[in-house]
Amino acid sequence: MSRDYMVMIFITAGALLSILMLVSKKNMKKAFLAFLVTQVFTWPLGLLFVALGKIQYPVRLFPKAIDNSFLGGFILNPIVFAIYYIHYPRHIKLKWRCLCTLLVVAIPACIEFAESKFTNLVRYKNWSPFYTWLLGIPIYFIMIKYLDWFFNNVSNQGVSKNET
C-alpha cells in the first residue's frame, strides 16, 4: 500500500475517532445533520474547482468514479464542521466567535496544504490553501446560522397546548 493511501486511512480514522471522542451521545443527531449540511456545500464546490482546473487530485479513493477528493469534501471538512458546530462558543463575544471560526476553518486548509506538500493527494494549479480557508469562512457562518435556525424551529414544532 502506498504512502498516499496510508495518509488517507490515517486522516479518515483520525476524523472518525475525533467525532466519536468529541461529540457526546446526546449531540450526535445534531452533529450528523451538521455533517450532512456541510457535504451539501463542500462536495459540489470541490467538483466545481476540479472541473475548472483549479485543483487536481492525482490519488483518489474512487479514481474511476469521480475526479474530486472524497476524503476532503465528503469526510474531513464535514467532520471538522460537525465537531465545531457542537462546540460553537455561543456564549462569548462576537469577535471571539469570529476568531474561533477563523482558526477552525484553517484546520482542513492546513491538512490540504500538507497533503499537497508531502503526498500526491492534492495538486494545486490555480489555487491555494489560502483560498480554501477564505472560502470556508462564509460557508461556516452560513451553515451555523442555518443549523441554529433549523434546530430552533424544530424544537418549536409539535403538538400545541390547545390540541387534545
Q: What are the per-10-residue average pLDDT scores of the chain (164 residues)?
A: 87 93 94 94 90 90 80 90 94 93 94 91 90 93 94 66 44
> What is the enclosing helix (H) or strand (E) of 123?
strand 123-124
Amino acid 67: pLDDT: 80
Amino acid 71: pLDDT: 85
Amino acid 16: pLDDT: 93
86: exposed, middle or buried (Cβ count in 10 Å: 0-12, 13-18, 19+): middle
Amino acid 162: pLDDT: 45
Amino acid 157: pLDDT: 60
Amino acid 29: pLDDT: 92
Helix (H, G, I), strand (E, B) or coil at 27: helix
How far apart CA 60 and CA 163 sit, in angstroms, is: 54
